[in-house]
Amino acid sequence: MSCELCQQQGGELLWNSALCRVVLIGDNDYPGFCRVVLNRHQQEMTDLPVDERNRVMQVVFAVESALRNTLNPVKINLACFGNMTPHIHWHVIPRFSDDRHFPQPVWGSEQRPGTAHGIDALAQQLRRQLSAVLGENQR
């Protein structure tokens, strides 16, 4: 089986440990759209030992907090599907009332034209916050 998250980083690396990584997707329509990706191939959260499940969720929550502190979104969406890519990864998506799909999910029906947001300095801000909460990157 070919798995894109086993073969590719999945976005701009913000933070990394032996267990998982945090990547920034870099979508101008959805600034701050991040993924928390398990660093080995596993399909379901319940396949992980409890301590690893807890650590992955700790990272998801740290990303959510960093995005809230940095961008002050209206809402944060958390999603873990894996239907198209059966590899554990969490989407952490800041939402804004003027984004293309709000209040629908980002995969739902478009509600308005997109409004591009600048995301250039965002990665560095998120790296600092994640390192402060989760510890230094382990490459």
pLDDT at 60: 98
pLDDT (tens, 9 = 90+) of the chain, 139 residues, equals 689 999 999 999 999 999 999 999 988 788 899 999 999 999 999 999 999 999 999 999 999 999 999 999 999 999 999 888 899 999 999 999 888 888 888 877 778 776 666 666 788 889 888 999 898 776 5
pLDDT at 123: 85
Query: pLDDT value at position 36?
Result: 98
Give alpha helix (H) positions in the chain: 4-7, 50-71, 122-134
Give me the count of residues in the chain: 139
Helix (H, G, I), strand (E, B) or coil at 82: coil
Backbone angle region of 100, left / alpha / beta, with phi > 0 → left and psi within -120 to 50 → alpha? alpha
* pLDDT for 116: 61
